[in-house]
Structure 1
């Protein structure tokens, strides 16, 4: 999954001078020149080095003058490795899994001349000053509630909620039927549930919420009040157990998978987890409902596997050819979608029933209905450390802080941090 970590201003400043090196001479992929392309990638239990090498092997076979070298960032991760490598003058040609921000954009090649970059998934949402600095393979949906179908049936719930009021009513029925209504936990999960509850409707009402919050033109207290009040109600009614704060992410995931809880807010990558589980409850999914009946809430989403070219690369044309292959080739895209539980309309792979439900959500979501979550991306970003502060204050809400106290604390934080 893509987590909301960002390059620090200090890290970028330390390498800003290297951007002036700019566009070095670049041989196209179909030339006779022997080219070594380095690609820094996210390595996980699913995305192993072996997987990455197998993924680029067909491209190398078609371009026998190119050797793609997979770089593993190790424990520090891609985002931490990039400024270090730039400062050392050893930057890769291509970086995978690093969403462009205004801080890193000066170090990246503008890909706006390529149709495969400008027309790809979430392409417009990730632009900076109208320029395209990345191309991705699909989307990771964020604004989702997974649910235990057995629990819903036992509680007499016959349809999935389409409004927040319907969801709250369903949670009450689940509690009465003896179920733990909401599965959440400590770590970053706590505020994920709040964002799933509130952000889709907030963005529908305030499309420029990220920019206006950063500029101090809107307040958290006004825009998030309905969501925070509802979340506090869920805590007070016992729909969110107070002991959830002591639950780690893997344990929360396993508790829901094994059928111990009823509703779980998580990103679409959970479908990949469920597909690989030895045993799983009967699980479905619905998009985050709207506060107002009849309105279509936005859908929080991140780009899946963004690829960017470093401006310091001496082989930019060849790098562009490789990225084009990775984000358009049917087999390459489908493989990447499947391995990490991501989705793209028109690129199907063998899916579980849960995966098919998610693909249907992707197919029915207009391209302009997606929104960032957390600190944001592209030009829609919030002050650094917003995600951490929101998580801290949401955990305080579970621990006994009132809704108004949380809203006041977040307003004070934005007052101190917004530009």
Structure 2
């Protein structure tokens, strides 16, 4: 959920080397994408699927919809597998499976650009089905399509507890960093924890959400410019927002002991009413609806320095790709297309993970009030840029997510050096470009 849901970094150079080696060795016993197809008419073929398991996308969810696919496609059986632990992305497990010769036929939530460069993914023909995906051209790598992503998942928003805001006397939602800090101070004075975050990839997300609008909202091509040497993490805009993030922490506006807890714990803290603000992707709307807490939540866009415009950054939702070593390419592609184009699944999948339809002719479930607020923010922003480990004109270097986590965590600590942390990002980029 990009988890994203995309909050473990893209593969490191070492992993890419392993991928290239495994792909060069044929990835196991399966035939290439140009193989026999899905068997003789009437035969039932089996394909494997690496699913993404999260608090929203449960095993039961996938099994229900796999059964629906099999009912609609009785000639195909889908064997679902999953990573042994929740890591955000399926990259590490997929890399292990590729190296062992057990690479799945269809994969979800991987850094598709890295696996495609390693020759592990099938090129998907651009037909009339693909053209139903809005702006599918933005998914192309060197003019070729290796992933299906037909959902929109905004990240750079801050959920808030309306009751706690009212208790602290906050009657205006923050649009600037100054206003965000003023609201946080009112909350702190009222004995309320202003903002919640956690360790691991959660810190990457929090740091990126709070800095993203100023950087990537105002320059959606930032990563391309970075690769071209036009911008730096030590530029004034980065120093300013990173410093504001550091000061926010230094003033005690984050929860104590944040780095010692994880994603599920911090989410529960917000649902229990133990914090007023919670920077999180749109998938939280589904968790909020399921939990049915005893307070009303709202949402606002993460601030910029001047507050003049609303910016939204995020991902195109969960990615689906087909293995280049599958010996059932037709069946695998049919299942991958089902995961983005089937009207029933598309609606249910978007609703289950707080996403919005990314089809040219959108298929959306009825929005909850909280989802409608995000839809309104998207309409106000007018567009959604990449950021963090997402494409922003170009892809960032491999492993950037881990580096962003280190910086985000470092700046939460007393006595941290903003210039040193940002210089470290430039240094890492240069070594891994």
The TM-score by the shorter chain falls in which range? Answer: 0.7 to 0.9
Deviation at 1:184, TM superposition (A): 1.9
CA-CA distance at 1:348 after TM superposition: 2.9
The answer to whether the aligner puts 1:277 opposite 2:291 as a matched pair is yes
The number of residue pairs the alignment matches comes to: 415
Q: 2:101 aligns with which of 89, 102, 105?
A: 89
Range with bigger deviation, 172-181 or 192-201: 172-181
**1:398 match: secondary structure:** coil
Q: 1:372 aligns with which of 380, 384, 387?
A: 387
Q: Is 1:136 matched with 2:146?
A: no
1:169 Cα deviation from its structure 2 partner: 2.6
CA deviation vs aligned residue, 1:349-394 (integer Å, no higher than 9, x gap): 3554223323333455545x32132x33597332333222222233
1:246 aligns with 2:260: yes
Indicate yes or no: 2:351 matched with 1:338. yes
Q: 1:196 aligns with which of 209, 217, 228?
A: 209
The answer to whether the aligner puts 1:51 opposite 2:61 as a matched pair is: yes
Q: Check if 1:36 corresponds to 2:46.
A: yes
Matched, 1:357 2:369: no
SS at match of 2:313: strand
Deviation at 1:83, TM superposition (A): 3.1
**Are residue 164 (structure 1) and residue 164 (structure 2) matched?**
no
**Is 1:344–1:362's contact at 8 Å kept on the other side of the alignment?**
no
Note the alpha carbon deviations across 1:3-58, whole angstroms, 9 max, x for none: 33434112212223156964333436994343222222123454344432321333
CA distance in 1, matches of 2:39, 2:175: 50
In structure 1, what is the equivalent of residue 23 of structure 2?
A: 16
Mapping of 1:7-406 within 5 angstroms?
7=11, 8-18=15-25, 22-27=32-37, 31-44=41-54, 46-75=56-85, 78-105=90-117, 106-120=119-133, 123-214=136-227, 216-222=229-235, 223-240=237-254, 243-277=257-291, 279-297=293-311, 299-344=312-357, 346-349=362-365, 351-367=367-383, 369-373=384-388, 375-377=389-391, 380-400=394-414, 401-406=416-421
The separation in 1 between residues aligned to 2:229 and 2:41, in whole angstroms, is 52
Q: Does the 8 Å CA contact 1:42/1:72 hold for their aligned counterparts?
A: yes
8 A contact 2:152–2:317 mirrored in 1: yes
Aligned partner of residue 401 in structure 2, secondary structure: helix
Paired residues of 1:127 and 1:379 also in contact (CA < 8 A) = no
Summarize deviations over 1:322-368 as a string: whole Å, max 9, x none.
Answer: 2222212221112222333332263333554223323333455545x
The 3 A distance-change label for structure 1 pair 215 and 398 is same
Q: CA deviation at 1:282?
A: 1.8
TM normalised by structure 2 equals 0.84
Alpha carbons of structure 1 residues 322 and 364: separation in structure 2 relative to 1, 3 Å? farther
Structure 2 regions of 5+ residues with no counterpart?
none
Root-mean-square deviation (CA), in Å?
2.9
Instruction: In structure 1, list runs of 5 or more residues that go unmatched.
Output: none
User: What is the rounded CA distance, in whole Å, between the counterparts of 1:243 and 1:261 in structure 2?
Assistant: 13
* 1:131-166 per-position Cα deviation (integer Å, ceiling 9, x unaligned): 221113412221110111112222332232223332
Q: CA deviation at 1:238?
A: 2.6
How far apart, in 2, do the equivalents of 1:378 and 1:31 lie?
44
> Within 1, Cα distance between the matches of 2:428 and 2:159?
32
Compared CA separation, residues 261 and 25, structure 1 to 2 (3 A): same
TM-score by length of 1: 0.87
For structure 1, which segment, 60-69 or 263-272, has the greater mean C-alpha deviation from structure 2 after superposition? 60-69
